[in-house]
Structure 1
Amino acid sequence: MTFLRISASALACGLLAACASTPSTIAPADVPPTVLMISIDGLRADKLSEADSPNLMRLAREGVRSIGMRPSYPALTFPNHYTLVTGLRPDHHGLVHNAMSADALGEFKVSDRAAVQNAAWWDGGEPIWVSVRKAGLKSATWSWPGSEAPVRGLHANQWRMYDESVPLPERMKQVLGWLHGEPDAIKPRFVATYMEQVDKAGHAHGPNSAEYTAALQQVDAAVGQLIDGMRRDRLLDETNVIVVSDHGMATVKDGNTVAIEDMVPADIAKVVSVGQSVGFAPLPGKQADAEKALLGEHAHYQCWNKAALPARWHYGSNPRIPAIVCQMQEGWDAITRDSIAKRPPGDRGSHGYDPALPSMQAVFVARGPAFAQGKQLSAFDNVDVYPLLTRLIGIPAQPNDGDPQALQQALRGSK
């Protein structure tokens, strides 16, 4: 892979450490702090404020905050959550979209629990909670995308399936218990948790709506509950807390839709994915017809053969990517006519647009013994989070696309 990078020195140090000791022989003073990673799905970087997210802003004041974190292409939930914990771009880890097709596996949709729990979809990368377990350490996950599948034969030691019926206060109580070492009195080295409320409000009402703001206030209160509990129980200063989102959210004005059926006839190409990054698989013998209908610029989208996609997206080599990919302009959705007819009136929100757009920028806030205080970071790619995680946890990094030096600026003592 052309984009794989790994720090040789970091890997060597990690391997030496692994050879020199095991978890049972590490003295308590030498055990690195726990890493807690919190994901707030769909939260735009520019939406943090003292009025609506005081707890997140407090973490930023006591630690670091980036002006933006660039998602990987496509700027969708499952691909980017798996990028954050593997350091691989979707083209490399194989979760190339929220909706995919593969000859040997069939169809993947995020609403299909059997597919979500099938490790074969996820085996292109090794998530950090699996690497932690392989190192003989403990990990815990609350519904992080990918954590329901036994990747490399392993889940986290403690893991919970996605269940939006569980209230946020109950989730935070469970996470706090894990940080204490429940249920076996062994503290985890890595804990991850996920919150979907902001993304849901953004899709339904748009990022500038009162509902989006209310959802941000709700998740901020949950973060505050967890942080206050950690502070009370003297866990906060021995935990490196990292808050991220997977992507931002853009406004889609009422009526800004393109019917998939108008893009290419159904007897020429099969629709693999809809929305913003739209995939088509030409039917046998119809490649030339599909290309004639789709390739090039159109009123609200542009299409490419997968090998000709813009190089800066690092996307197009994975066999799960359809032969033709169309990218919608910001603020436009491509969906079926039936979905258009059922869509309620009013503005809404979407993501999946060009990751360079300001509306797609994700959140990165971090606080803990490893991090500088009161520092604003320049923007970086989300693949760079993974080498930071392995450094903080103290395990070797798997091959990845991240730059180990990119987040050096975030660490205590850096200039």
Structure 2
Amino acid sequence: MRWIRPMAAAACAALLYACTTPAAIAPVPPAPAAEVRAPVTILIGIDGFRPDYLDRGVTPVLSKLAAEGARGTMRASFPTKTFPNFYTLVTGKRPDRHGIVANRFEDPARPGEVFTMRSEQPYWWDQGEPVWNAAEKAGVQSAVMFWPGSGIEIGGTRPHDWQAFGMAVNGRQRVDSIIDWLRRPTATRPKLLGLYFDTIDTAGHHFGPDAPETTAAVAEIDALIGRLTSELAGLNQPANLVFVADHGMAAVDESRRIQLDTVAAASDFRTIEEGPYAAIEPLPGREAALAAALLKPHPNMSCWRRADIPAHLHYGRNPRVSSFLCLAKVGWTITTRPAAEPLRPGGAHGWDPAAPEMAALFVAHGPDITRGMTVPAFDNVHVAPLIRRLAGLPEAKDIDGDPAVLAPVIAR
């Protein structure tokens, strides 16, 4: 050991004493108080998620949220297709009233044009007001990740933040976009958000609703929901989460095929859509012949003129609906493809909303959501009024949704 000379030792002792006296210790600033964040509302659309997928034992996160919050079976609107129903969920209007009457349709006011899922012209969309537009008008900032219609300027308005749909953007990137928006300072942070996943629907179409690949897709989405809730907790961000699907899924195969051009002469009609239902237009001068063929009884489908579509479908008043509609029994496919060309097995949707296979997921969880509640079966038009109330928006006028139906879901 090295010894220190006495004088040096005394000097060191004096210096040490001076450095440890209370007057010489710099005060430690208090830790900044954690920001107290107000709850946000996040509407999460999971394409093709049937309610019974929660019973497969692969959804620990979403099943826990459902048990702690509110859940129920939701009836889709007709047609049980993606774009009509996702737009119903945010407008509170049925497809017949908000104008997105199918995934593919025509408008007599715009001859020669066809709406598809790539159509972005505002005139297709402006028969309904989505909740994000209502939010922006009320001064509530919104941000939407991929919801159908969210990137289109409807009535001169769109969300403050939005992303154009791209399959290459994976689920984790979609979740992280929501979290990144919520990392902003209070003044620029969105209060109403939307998020969309397509993985389960894609698997259901390719493999069928009962396939292990579809169950794996359900598990994948559940893990992403776990990431979302974990990241929200890390931000100390309370959130009212509302999970919805647009429709369910049913199995299809070659054995349940309706060859439409053997029911009516191919020279009498053209189809706009085929599948679980067929949207049909007569060729010039062939309406009477087509009606005679379609309107008689058929074993696995029913057909109507637009004006005679059954009332429970709430469909046929909009001129964008085809002149004739044929609706197959669940699992059956209407087609004009050559009989020698087999149908691809897997899954589909588009049938009567009353069919159990077409039911859609509904789960809500958050600080303003009633705990442990099972909601009686309801129509999806009632979701938009719920979202409006959670986001602090005024009630909408002239919609089909009734705020009273899901009012018990809100605890406050």
TM-score (norm 2): 0.87
Segments of 5+ residues of structure 1 without an aligned counterpart are 1-27
Q: Secondary structure at the match of 1:330?
A: coil
Instruction: Verify the 8 A CA contact 2:253 2:343 in the aligned structure 1.
Output: no
1:309-363 CA distance string (max 9 Å, x none): 111111110000011111011001123315972644xx41111111011111100
1:286-330 CA distance string (max 9 Å, x none): 221111011143122110111111111111100000111110110
The residue that corresponds to 2:93 in the other structure is: 88
| Alignment RMSD | 1.9
After TM superposition, the structure 1 = structure 2 runs for residues 233-244 of structure 1, keeping only pairs within 5 Å, are 233-235=235-237, 238-244=238-244
Query: What is the alpha-carbon distance in structure 2 between the residues aligned to residue 375 and residue 391 of structure 1?
Result: 18
The residue that corresponds to 1:401 in the other structure is: 400
Cα 1:253–1:189, aligned 2, differ >3 Å: closer, same or farther?
Answer: same
Q: Secondary structure at the match of 1:363?
A: strand
After TM superposition, the structure 1 = structure 2 runs for residues 284-295 of structure 1, keeping only pairs within 5 Å, are 284-295=284-295
The residue that corresponds to 1:97 in the other structure is: 102
After TM superposition, the structure 1 = structure 2 runs for residues 194-209 of structure 1, keeping only pairs within 5 Å, are 194-209=196-211
1:128-164 CA distance string (max 9 Å, x none): 1111111122111111111121111222111011111
The residue that corresponds to 1:168 in the other structure is: 171
Deviation at 1:408, TM superposition (A): 2.0
Cα 1:339–1:384, aligned 2, differ >3 Å: closer, same or farther?
Answer: farther
Deviation at 1:185, TM superposition (A): 5.0
The residue that corresponds to 2:62 in the other structure is: 56
Residue 107 in structure 1 maps to residue 114 in structure 2: yes
The residue that corresponds to 1:327 in the other structure is: 327
Q: Percent identity over the alignment?
A: 39
Instruction: Verify the 8 A CA contact 1:372 1:410 in the aligned structure 2.
Output: yes
Query: What is the alpha-carbon distance in structure 1 between the residues aligned to residue 350 and residue 382 of structure 2?
Result: 20
Deviation at 1:253, TM superposition (A): 3.2
Query: What is the alpha-carbon distance in structure 2 between the residues aligned to residue 343 and residue 218 of structure 1?
Result: 28
Query: What is the alpha-carbon distance in structure 1 between the residues aligned to residue 166 and residue 336 of structure 2?
Result: 28
Q: Secondary structure at the match of 1:130?
A: helix
TM-score (norm 1): 0.86
Instruction: Verify the 8 A CA contact 2:45 2:244 in the aligned structure 1.
Output: yes
Query: What is the alpha-carbon distance in structure 2 between the residues aligned to residue 130 and residue 227 of structure 1?
Result: 26
Query: What is the alpha-carbon distance in structure 2 between the residues aligned to residue 366 and residue 254 of structure 1?
Result: 38
Residue 137 in structure 1 maps to residue 140 in structure 2: yes
Equivalent of 1:381 in 351, 361, 379: 379
Equivalent of 1:72 in 69, 77, 81: 77
After TM superposition, the structure 1 = structure 2 runs for residues 266-415 of structure 1, keeping only pairs within 5 Å, are 266-338=266-338, 341=341, 343-344=343-344, 347-398=345-396, 399-412=398-411
The residue that corresponds to 1:126 in the other structure is: 129
Instruction: Verify the 8 A CA contact 2:277 2:333 in the aligned structure 1.
Output: no
The residue that corresponds to 1:157 in the other structure is: 160
Equivalent of 2:39 in 33, 48, 60: 33
Cα 1:49–1:282, aligned 2, differ >3 Å: closer, same or farther?
Answer: same
Q: Secondary structure at the match of 1:120?
A: helix
The residue that corresponds to 2:180 in the other structure is: 177
Cα 1:63–1:340, aligned 2, differ >3 Å: closer, same or farther?
Answer: farther
Query: What is the alpha-carbon distance in structure 2 between the residues aligned to residue 233 and residue 50 of structure 1?
Result: 31
Segments of 5+ residues of structure 2 without an aligned counterpart are 1-34
1:78-128 CA distance string (max 9 Å, x none): 000000000000010011111101134410122xx3x2x111110110111
Cα 1:259–1:181, aligned 2, differ >3 Å: closer, same or farther?
Answer: farther
1:221-256 CA distance string (max 9 Å, x none): 111111111112211xx2110000001111113432
Larger Rg computed on CA atoms:
2
Deviation at 1:284, TM superposition (A): 2.5
Q: Secondary structure at the match of 1:208?
A: coil
Deviation at 1:212, TM superposition (A): 0.7
The residue that corresponds to 1:10 in the other structure is: none
Q: How many residues align?
A: 375
